[in-house]
Structure 1
Amino acid sequence: MNTDTITCHNVYNYGASLQAYALQHYLESLGHDVKIIDFQPWFHRDRYKPFFISPGGRLYSICKACPPLKYILVPLKYRSRLISMVKTWGRKKTFDDFTKQYLSLTCRYNTSEELKANPPHADVYIAGSDQIWNTESYNGKEPGYYLDFGTAKKISYAASFAVSEIQEEWRPFVKSQLSHFQHISVREKTGVSILKSMGFQNGVQVVDPVFLLGADEWKTLAHKAKDYGLKENNYIVVYDFLNDERIAAFVKKLKEHTNMTVVSINDFNILPYVDININDAGPLEFVSLISKAAAVVCSSFHASAFSLIFKKPFYVFPLIGQNNSSRMEDLLNLIGHHERFMPDEILDDMDYDAIQFVLDKEIGKSKDVLQSFIKS
């Protein structure tokens, strides 16, 4: 069966790349011929363009009226961003290499209009996973992520709204877009509630695609990662996007408690409170570093997910200024460990026998849901 998925697969984000790979790989294991629709709207394409300016605002208007000015004004306004971009250019290459080697893509589509005009040929389209329906970002306002094209069967797997409720102004758009789906599954419990509030009573909660592959499968893949010479189970991984003071304070306590090296997997920012900043990690390195860590502190859903997969103690903090923590809280509530969310103190070890029992049940259910959606 020809099965095409659509997701945020090439945005230089660890979780995005890895969940795209996981769903592709799992479907291939079932005998499907799988392609990821290479949908790259402007807000994904411009991440590593040094003179990119987000639409809207005075600077955008000035540079649109006189384009050469951006080569003067952008360095003045975004100097730190440009410096960080240069420092992490090696990171970009590792992502590009991962995409080229592990993701099977269709031809490129730059707009939803292009998808409608020349849709990819498939028996089934699958929307998901990750934050493709987050209306507080550009993703959730883009018709292409709601499969607004083609005539194939349309289902979703573990799509995420990322928030606990959709702003009223976007509800009619989302409801209209979802009305042509044959089956809908979402990643969060809050997503099921959102669906019900819009009249979709048959929405199902399933696990993120990264859980569809086992720890051994991930370790086999991560075996090809760069080796940073760190002693296994003797370091703490930090994944902190924003140099968060709350995380810094907690990590200081954890370091004093464990006397372990603190290692940061960086995006653009260098963290001053860690011992080692890693600026060139790609998706494989992300998996490998977590798999060999003693503990993880993060503000990331997928860092939390891989901590669970590899049975690592972990602590989660919400991103400052963003309303998307429901996905992390739902995951912690699922395993019965909400105390790991914004902790004040070092906590006892996690009962991974009990956690694995819950996860195995949810993973089995999710696999059944996905296969039944495709067949029915």
Structure 2
Amino acid sequence: MARIGIMTTQDALNNGAMLQAFALQTYLRSLGHDVEFIDFRRERKLTLRSFIAKKPQVMWYKWMDIINASTYKRKGHFGDLLNRGSETFYNLKDIQNNPPDYDIYIAGSDQIWNVSSQDTVNRAFYLDFGKKEVKRVSYAASMGQCNVPKSLDEEIHALVKILDFVSLRETKAVNYIQSLFKENKKIYHVPDPTFLLSKEEYLKFILSDDEKWKKKYAITYSLAEYDQGLRNAVDYILSVKNLNLINLRNPDTCIRFPKAENIIVTPKDWLRYVYYSQLMICCSFHAVVFSLILHKPFIVVTPYKNERINSLLTSVGLSDRVILSFDKEKINAILDEKIDWDKVDLALKQERSKGTEFLSLSLN
């Protein structure tokens, strides 16, 4: 079996990012491989705008987020599911000068190929380091909304060209990369790593006898700011279902709801809250993922069309469970519709097969 080094988001205070990394690690280990994450860290740069705001309450929240981020980084609770290599790298030059020694490099999932607001690519996540003979694979790399300026086509083509096998998570991203290569290189569409594990494999560390899980509640998990209309939509959903709200937060990124119990949770408890909830209200890709895997009724409330969520929901026939504005009629229709979980499971099984077949092809 091979020694595999994974390059992905593995140091973020983000439950979705940590769980997708954990899933890929767990699946590759089940095949007998020796798996580590390459400890590549992108330091968050704080500016004056990180500390100040026009409204005192907003400024207070910003300070709390900075303090929480520092506290949880120090505790390390968000990374304790992952096996990291001994070396830490902070930039491309570091990792090029002292490349980690593995048989295979995998550029893992999450938004590692997302073009930043500066219209640049992070070359480290394209595996632009190490000896030429090391096999290079991308598994479910995400380009986010895949809004790539034409000026980056040549650089991205050159970087992807050195990869032995290439797969991406969103249909739009697959089509974009394939267009750069025409018929000269096959680009695969595969599911997020979280789908490589079954519901039963997650339940091994979700199930609990604690009395607190017997309370009836709805969950919100949102990384994007809601306007008043969408906040009104959340209030309406809760009134229709007659549920109290628990708002799950990453330490420094998720929004707050004034009428909710706002709590910071780490990955294992995040999964438990999802599993024992009656309803999931979200605009996060991985919140939708685990709603599907764990059979949780859900509604996507989002301020913008999300390419990642749309691609996923289309694949399971549930693309109509998204609202972009406060629409009572549509909300009622979504809440009244019973999800055919057998149909979802069949679709997820087919998606999982695409992932496992790609990994079998690319790793052997």
TM-score of the aligned structures, taking structure 1 as reference length: 0.84
For residue 339 of structure 1, give the secondary structure of its aligned residue in structure 2.
coil
CA contact (8 A) 1:239 1:266 kept: yes
Choose the corresponding residue for 2:221, options 239, 251, 259. 239
Query: Cα 1:140–1:286, aligned 2, differ >3 Å: closer, same or farther?
Result: farther
**Residue 113 of structure 1: how far off its partner (Å):** 1.0
Q: Matched residues in 2 for 1:27 and 1:198: separation?
A: 30
Determine whether 1:326 maps to 2:307: yes
**1:291-330 alignment to 2 at 5 Å?**
291-319=275-303, 325-330=306-311
Paired AA for residue 341 in structure 2: Y
For residue 238 of structure 1, give the secondary structure of its aligned residue in structure 2.
strand
Determine whether 1:179 maps to 2:190: no
**Residue 159 of structure 1: how far off its partner (Å):** 0.3
Choose the corresponding residue for 1:46, options 44, 47, 56. 44
**1:240-319 alignment to 2 at 5 Å?**
240-245=222-227, 246-267=229-250, 268=252, 271-279=256-264, 281-319=265-303
Determine whether 1:36 maps to 2:17: no
Q: How many residues are paired up?
A: 343
1:139-189 CA-partner distances (Å, limit 9, x unpaired): 961110000011210111000111244111222221111110111011111
The match for 2:345 is 356
For residue 125 of structure 2, give the secondary structure of its aligned residue in structure 1.
helix
Query: Cα 1:16–1:319, aligned 2, differ >3 Å: closer, same or farther?
Result: farther
RMSD over aligned Cα atoms: 2.5
Q: Matched residues in 2 for 1:107 and 1:88: separation?
A: 23
**1:1-376 alignment to 2 at 5 Å?**
1-41=2-42, 45-46=43-44, 52-53=46-47, 75-76=51-52, 80-86=61-67, 91-92=72-73, 96-136=76-116, 141-151=121-131, 152-199=134-181, 201=183, 202-223=186-207, 229-231=212-214, 234-245=216-227, 246-267=229-250, 268=252, 271-279=256-264, 281-319=265-303, 325-342=306-323, 344=327, 345-346=331-332, 347=334, 348-375=337-364
Q: Matched residues in 1 for 2:86 and 2:141: separation?
A: 20
CA contact (8 A) 1:188 1:330 kept: yes
Q: Out of 193-202 and 239-248, give the one that drifted further.
A: 239-248
CA contact (8 A) 1:91 1:282 kept: no
Query: Cα 1:89–1:277, aligned 2, differ >3 Å: closer, same or farther?
Result: farther
**Residue 297 of structure 1: how far off its partner (Å):** 0.9
**Residue 260 of structure 1: how far off its partner (Å):** 1.1
**Residue 101 of structure 1: how far off its partner (Å):** 4.9
**Residue 293 of structure 1: how far off its partner (Å):** 1.1
For residue 5 of structure 2, give the secondary structure of its aligned residue in structure 1.
strand
Query: Cα 1:313–1:339, aligned 2, differ >3 Å: closer, same or farther?
Result: same
Paired AA for residue 115 in structure 1: I
**Residue 374 of structure 1: how far off its partner (Å):** 0.8
- Where in structure 1 are there 5+ consecutive unaligned residues? 54-58, 60-72
Query: Cα 1:137–1:368, aligned 2, differ >3 Å: closer, same or farther?
Result: farther
**Residue 200 of structure 1: how far off its partner (Å):** 5.2
CA contact (8 A) 1:131 1:139 kept: no
Paired AA for residue 325 in structure 1: N
CA contact (8 A) 1:332 1:338 kept: yes
Q: Out of 73-82 and 19-28, give the one that drifted further.
A: 73-82
